[in-house]
């Protein structure tokens, strides 16, 4: 069980200090599939990074498996079974796809067959990618799918995916949606996905809408899905807020 209580977080950059999370309360039961959605800039990614420990909270608490992890660093949380797929994954000169999967799995002897299995789950033809460097020679969509594959290889008990659909073409997206369906059904893992995509939201057990640093709605999919869809522009598969300024064409 992941329990977040009254979480506050401010962050500073060159344009000043911003109060991003404002008293977030959220319970994510074990084995559940939760989708965080809501307008851009509402605080979804910050909340995900706070759970992973990438952005430290100012106050409030995060409990995982009954243990207060609020003060723990990224590495400790990772070793406790939390993983995070970045919205904009970094690239690495000289580190191959296979190397990242080996690191993620923690198995030095991870077989080529296993690497292929993870890559196939994100719609990549393994033979074409396994020995390629994760550098600028790969497209944004390719790096994104490799990022998701590393989290699958990690096989952790809490998996967080930050907008997995971003930058991914329609064909690969179908494969990805099927993979999320499989994870939900078979893995037993607790999954949090940040998404604006109807097909991913429709997989959720729980939908939480994050806006202006708060959870403005949270509940079972069947109850919340119609309300969330009502916020979408007519004729568009995407939820309002997915595009800059909330427009949807």
Applying CB under 8 A, the residues found at the interface with other proteins are 52, 54, 73-75, 78-79, 83-84, 86, 88-90, 92-96, 99-100, 103-104, 106, 150, 154
Q: What count of other Cβ atoms lies within 10 Å of the Cβ of residue 28?
A: 23
Q: Which is nearer to other proteins, 81 or 141 (CB)?
A: 81
Smallest separation, CB 155 to other proteins (Å) = 12
Smallest separation, CB 84 to other proteins (Å) = 5
Is residue 243 within 8 Å of residue 233, measured between CB atoms?
Answer: no
Sequence-separated (6 or more) residues with CB below 8 Å from residue 214: 22, 23, 24, 43
Smallest separation, CB 241 to other proteins (Å) = 25
Smallest separation, CB 224 to other proteins (Å) = 29
In this structure, what token pair is assigned to residue 234?
A: 């007519």
Query: Whats the size of the chain, residue-wise?
Result: 249
Give CA–CA dist 20/60, Å, rounded.
14
Closest to 184 in 3D by CA, of 159, 150, 209: 159
R_g of the chain computed on alpha carbons: 18
Smallest separation, CB 102 to other proteins (Å) = 10
Closest to 123 in 3D by CA, of 83, 180, 84: 180
Q: Which is nearer to other proteins, 78 or 211 (CB)?
A: 78
Smallest separation, CB 2 to other proteins (Å) = 16
- Tell me the longest C-alpha to C-alpha distance in the chain: 51
Give CA–CA dist 1/180, Å, rounded.
20
What DSSP letter does each residue of 203-237 carry, written as one string?
Answer: T-SEEEEEETTEEEEEEEHHHHHHHHHHTSPTT-S
Q: Which is nearer to other proteins, 76 or 128 (CB)?
A: 76
């Amino acid at each position: 069980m992941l329990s977040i209580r009254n979480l506050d977080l401010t962050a500073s950059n060159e344009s000043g200090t911003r109060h991003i999370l404002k008293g977030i309360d959220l319970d994510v039961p074990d084995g559940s599939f939760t989708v965080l959605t809501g307008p851009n800039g509402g605080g979804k990614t910050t909340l995900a990074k706070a759970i992973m420990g990438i952005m430290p909270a100012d106050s409030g608490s995060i409990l995982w498996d009954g243990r207060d992890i609020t003060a723990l660093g990224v590495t400790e949380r990772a070793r406790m079974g939390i993983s995070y797929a970045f919205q904009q994954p970094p690239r690495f000169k000289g580190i191959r796809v296979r190397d990242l999967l080996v690191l993620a799995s923690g198995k030095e002897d991870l077989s080529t067959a296993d690497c292929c299995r993870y890559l196939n789950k994100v719609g990549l033809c393994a033979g074409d990618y396994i020995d390629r460097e994760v550098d600028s020679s790969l497209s944004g969509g390719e790096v994104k799918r490799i990022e998701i594959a590393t989290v699958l290889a990690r096989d952790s008990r809490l998996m967080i995916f930050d907008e997995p659909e971003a930058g991914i073409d329609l064909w690969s997206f179908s494969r990805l949606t099927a993979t999320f369906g499989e994870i939900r059904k078979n893995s037993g893992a607790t999954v949090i996905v940040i998404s604006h995509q109807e097909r991913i939201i429709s997989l959720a057990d729980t939908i939480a809408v994050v806006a202006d640093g708060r959870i403005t709605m949270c509940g079972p999919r069947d109850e919340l899905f119609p309300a969330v869809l009502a916020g979408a522009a007519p004729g568009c598969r995407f939820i309002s807020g997915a595009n800059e300024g909330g427009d949807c064409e």
